[in-house]
Structure 1
Amino acid sequence: MVSNMVKTGIVAAVGVTVIVLSSTLGWILVPDIVTSEAIITEDNEAIYGAWKSPPVPFFIQFFLFNCTNCELEGPENSSVVLDLQQLGPFTFSEKRVKFNITEKDGLLTYFEEESYYYEPMGNETSLDEYITTVNPVYFTLASLITDLAPPESVETLSIAMHRLLKDVEEHPFMRRTISEILFEGWSLQPYIEILVMLSDLAGIPLPELPEDPRFGYFYGVNGTDGGEFKIESGANGLDKLGLIRSWNGEKNLNYWNDDFCDMINGTDGAIYPPVVDVNERIYIFVTDLCRSIYTTYERDVETMGITANRFTVPPEVFDDKNPDNFCYCRDYSTNPELCFSAGLLDLRPCQFGAPVVLSTPHFYLGDEKYSNAFTGLKPVKQWHETNIDLEPLTAVPVFISERIQINIDVRRYGIPSRFLDINNTVFPVFWINETAVLDQPSADDVTLAVNVINGLNISRWCFLAAGIALVIAGFVMLVIFYPK
């Protein structure tokens, strides 16, 4: 017959064994196995394949603004309020494929090719529809002359530019098809002789021009890549997964002439370190913005049956009163009054001096003076903010909607008012809604992964609790059977 001492010893020993096993398996071995399966490496075929060529469908929608009362020569006078009519969406699917991938020291180096395919949904307006909008080439020339020519020559050169362009029927505003404005582009041949002449007179260096120069906002980008990225694969710690270590061989940007603004922070927006902390900012490096931005937690949402943490871009990211943003204004050290107000980012430093200004659609969260300068603009949170929904445990993006607006900094520059009588304004050209939503198979995989992780967490705590209970029972039995 087994003695009480032996029974007590067995209970305590089993309890200690369960504690040791649950701790070893639950907090060391199983997490190590899970971690190894989450690292992006060619050996992990499933996750590597999904990262290399995402199965999730991406779409990009364009909304263009047609100016209903814009004359090609510009408004009759500066008192005219320009009326904008939004057309769209014009929907394209987007295919992303990474290539030239190398692995070394826990880092992945790669390029990512992006291709766009027109996929109209429903009764979309034809891409052959003509709209009236601002002429970006006209105002780029005017801006470059003002910025780069000797001050005493600015007005003379600006008048010459205006007259020469008028002779070839190019004006401050233009009528182009939606297809030309986006991907097809239009010939810049009428500008070449003018460019060369102005370059010689003002001493402005010209970049090498192609044989058939054309311009469209997305002309020539189909089938191209966004540069060389080097990111963390997760092998150096899952808390670093996806973090960008360099872009085009550089650890920092060289656009803003400031160490802070030139920092490359966060991921590329496609992958994130697991276990989301809603109290922390999530940083994303956006090549189209030429900078890193951050998002903050707003609320929980449900998509495809998955509860996710929604992160949005807060107002302070583009707030002109935020000291962190002073270095994004090229004129701040000269005269802060020349900087744009809240909601805008001047992209001249990374767009070869072209007066391209980025904002949220309809100037949502921006200074009201920009949206009030036109009729037809109505900023709405639901339609115009950027959302990123992350599953909390895996940090898989369940839904992404990135929304940005392309504008041109329209002003007279050095052109006398008798040729162009217009108020200084930021003219909206189009805005983009780039989305990605998990398809059902991917959503099922995420749900399964979450259930497995939750099951492991519950099991290890249950086994640990059982082990502790057995050890306590052993001590209780010791007190009962062998009281002092």
Structure 2
Amino acid sequence: MVDRIHCASIVLILSSIVFLLSGILLITFSDSLIKKTVKKECQLKQGTILYKIWHDTPVPLYISIYVFDLVNEVEFLNGGKPHLIQRGPFVYREQRTKEDIRFYPNGTISYRESRNYIFDQSKSPLDETFRFNTINVVYMTLINYLHTQNVPDLFRQIIGTILSFVEKPIMQRTIKEYLWGYQDPILSILKKRLPQLVMDDQISVFASVVNEAQYETILINNGVGFDENHNERLNNLGKIERFNFSTSLSIWSNKYANMINGTDSTIWHPDARKDETIYTFMNDICRSVHLKYNQTHKNLFDINTYQYIIPNDAFANISDNEGFCLNYTMTNETQQLKCLASGLFSLTPCLHCKFII
């Protein structure tokens, strides 16, 4: 009996030592094993978890749109201050589909991305058939055109007559028309009378951007392997190398504003730090922006996740953003930069029309 107890004690001691050593080894190597697994799966190559998520995003994407409704149109047109009421959000489910995906030997991937938007009534307090008063973009654009450009007399007379009898500076449209398109009465007449100048009478705030985006080609870093300096390419995972076959833009007034920095905002490299400034290129507004750490959240698996937001200075009227100021022709025909107030951003160079957000 004593021998059995002695033998059992030895077995128990040996088992404890084995478990202790296993625990030490697990603590020692688990972190490196996890990091190795993360690095392996966080590469944009077929078969990895990240590639599946990147190709077919499992996370639902939503876009919330707000508009300002002018409720004192008559008073405003008579010189009074505008009374605006914010309406919304009008929430749309966004579906993205990556197309024409191509892999290159230098560790890059090119693709195009089409988007589809479905109105989500359950998340929206108002229907997209809601009508609101807003600035008549075509009317105001033509007025500005007549005042700033050397227009032939015949063309000026035709436009002036149409503006006087057809439309007003304020228009009423449904949310659906405003975002996704409507036939503009002014352009419809000009299309018939001046077909050589006006070929399309459809106007939309958002549809034109969405339609144009599907033809944009993006070339990104796949994060696989090492670069020529023996640095891990994973640190540049998703970084946009070229946008529409160019390494920079040419629409803004200096080279810094024209830079294409960061990713497309859907993926970033792993091991992001709180003190790190993250960059993303937003092709919808034709510019790069930086993001900074805001706060930490815990996900369903009790893992810390970092939230990064666009800081206020990204759209501030400061020297760093001077490149986004617009060139205006003065009365003496000289060029002068005009910067908008903080919080405003002109999409004129991006959309090739007068539009400010």
What's the TM-score, normalizing by structure 1? 0.59
Quote the residue 2:18 is aligned against.
Answer: none
Shift of 1:339: 2.1
Matches of 1:171 and 1:101 in 2, distance apart? 47
Shift of 1:178: 1.8
Aligned identity (percent) is 27
Quote the residue 1:165 is aligned against.
Answer: 163
Cα gap change, 1:157/1:131 in structure 2, threshold over 3 Å: closer, same or farther?
Answer: same
Q: 1:65 aligns with which of 63, 68, 72?
A: 68
1:215 pairs with 2:227: no
CA deviation profile, 1:403-429 (whole Å, cap 9, x unmatched): xxxxxxxxxxxxxxxxxxxxxxxxxxx
Shift of 1:57: 0.4
Matches of 2:356 and 2:157 in 1, distance apart? 24
User: Does structure 1 retain, via aligned residues, the 8 Å contact 2:62–2:94?
Assistant: yes
Quote the residue 1:320 is aligned against.
Answer: 317
Matches of 1:60 and 1:187 in 2, distance apart? 25
Matches of 1:296 and 1:75 in 2, distance apart? 43
Q: 1:75 aligns with which of 74, 77, 80?
A: 77
User: Does structure 2 retain, via aligned residues, the 8 Å contact 1:114–1:223?
Assistant: no
Q: 2:50 aligns with which of 43, 47, 52?
A: 47
Quote the residue 1:93 is aligned against.
Answer: 93
Cα gap change, 1:328/1:223 in structure 2, threshold over 3 Å: closer, same or farther?
Answer: closer
Quote the residue 1:309 is aligned against.
Answer: 306
Number of corresponding residues: 318
Quote the residue 1:286 is aligned against.
Answer: 282
Return 5+ residue gaps in structure 1 as ranges. Answer: 1-17, 201-205, 359-484
User: Does structure 2 retain, via aligned residues, the 8 Å contact 1:253–1:263?
Assistant: yes
Shift of 1:86: 1.9
Quote the residue 2:216 is aligned against.
Answer: 227
The higher relative CO (CA closer than 8 Å, separation ≥ 6) is in: 1
What SS does the corresponding residue of 1:254 show, helix, strand or coil? coil
What SS does the corresponding residue of 2:205 show, helix, strand or coil? coil
Shift of 1:63: 1.9
1:265 pairs with 2:261: yes
CA deviation profile, 1:65-116 (whole Å, cap 9, x unmatched): 21110139x6102xx1111122222222111121211111211111111111
Matches of 1:243 and 1:81 in 2, distance apart? 46
What's the TM-score, normalizing by structure 2? 0.78
Shift of 1:314: 1.8
User: Does structure 1 retain, via aligned residues, the 8 Å contact 2:70–2:133?
Assistant: yes
Cα gap change, 1:92/1:226 in structure 2, threshold over 3 Å: closer, same or farther?
Answer: farther
Q: 2:249 aligns with which of 246, 253, 259?
A: 253
Cα gap change, 1:340/1:155 in structure 2, threshold over 3 Å: closer, same or farther?
Answer: farther
Matches of 1:197 and 1:339 in 2, distance apart? 37
What SS does the corresponding residue of 1:345 show, helix, strand or coil? coil
What SS does the corresponding residue of 2:313 show, helix, strand or coil? helix
Return 5+ residue gaps in structure 2 as ranges. Answer: 1-21, 226-232, 329-333
Matches of 1:357 and 1:341 in 2, distance apart? 11
What SS does the corresponding residue of 2:340 show, helix, strand or coil? coil
Matches of 1:331 and 1:97 in 2, distance apart? 36
Matches of 1:122 and 1:342 in 2, distance apart? 30
Cα gap change, 1:340/1:33 in structure 2, threshold over 3 Å: closer, same or farther?
Answer: closer
What SS does the corresponding residue of 2:281 show, helix, strand or coil? strand
Aligned pairs for 1:7-406 within 5 A = 31-44=35-48, 46-71=49-74, 75-77=77-79, 80-104=80-104, 105-121=106-122, 124-147=125-148, 149-150=149-150, 161-167=159-165, 169-183=166-180, 185-188=181-184, 190-194=186-190, 206=197, 209-210=199-200, 213-219=201-207, 221=210, 225=214, 227-236=216-225, 237-302=233-298, 304=300, 305-321=302-318, 323-331=319-327, 334-336=335-337, 338-352=338-352, 354-358=353-357
Q: 2:217 is aligned with what amino acid?
A: E
Matches of 2:254 and 2:313 in 1, distance apart? 19
What SS does the corresponding residue of 1:49 show, helix, strand or coil? helix
User: Does structure 2 retain, via aligned residues, the 8 Å contact 1:281–1:296?
Assistant: yes
Cα gap change, 1:158/1:317 in structure 2, threshold over 3 Å: closer, same or farther?
Answer: farther
CA deviation profile, 1:150-185 (whole Å, cap 9, x unmatched): 2xx599976753431232x211111112221122x2
Matches of 2:43 and 2:124 in 1, distance apart? 44
